[in-house]
Amino acid sequence: MKISIEKDYDSLSNKAANRFIELVESGKIKDIAFPTGNTPKLFYKKLVEFYKDEKVNLSGVSGFLIDEYYPIKKESKNSFNYYIEKKFFTHVKLKKKYSLDGNNPDFLAECKNYKELIEKKGGLDLVILGVGENGHIGFNEPGSEYNSRVRLVELKNSTLDINRAKYDAGKVPKYALTLGIYEIFKAKKIILLASGSSKSERIRDLFNGHISSSLPVSVLRLHSDMEVILDKEAAVLLEDQIMELIN
């Protein structure tokens, strides 16, 4: 596992954007799953700036959205489709864009089609992840099995409590569609981004805790090509011996 600790959120985002460009320019990374949330916002902004400055060519890249609330319309400002389009997809030219349709009444068919699409690609080349405060990756909440596939999940109260700050009372989505841990773990490469002290416990657990379905992020420790990019606040609880290895 490769670990980078940057001085602040801006440096983290810049590091992640430059690392992304290196991987794309290698020609080996073509099918990429992208996250939403607060952590990658500046990462996307920097990628768009690099793209406009012609520092990266994304015409060979196909983008996959990791998850989506359910039920929700794509054009809803609360949807992850709206987020990724506004922050990234509409500003760059990709080969293809794929996302889960949170408004499809047949969610089983929606999940099956997305799973089969990724299978036909031979799996994902790169998954970029954040981590939830309860340890979820994508919307694989605590208790998710390691062999879980693309599916509908019921969100935990811990996730709903955080989301209530973003939605009107009574309108917090209670379900989501998500890539399973299987699809994430089968990716050739994973990059995990974490910023802020609110993520520090989960980052500590990633390195020091038990690998358990109760903490989905913990399984990433077993991945053969895993890279973690943190800011100092997210890394504050890491043990001295880990810090020594990094420094």
d(CA 52, CA 29): 20
Who contacts 71 (Cβ-Cβ below 8 Å, separation ≥6)?
Answer: 102, 103, 105, 173, 175
**Cβ within 8 Å of residue 41, ≥6 positions away:** 87
Cis peptide bond upstream of 40, omega within 30 = no
Q: What CA–CA distances, in Å, run from 164 to 91, 96, 197?
A: 29, 33, 20
Q: What's the length of the chain? A: 247
Catalytic residue annotation: 67, 134, 136, 141
Residue position matching structure tokens 């989506």: 68
Distance CA 213, CA 219 (A): 8
How far is 214 from 40, CA to CA, in rounded Å? Answer: 24
Contact 189, 23 (CB under 8 A): yes
Phi, psi of 189 (to 5 degrees): -140, 145
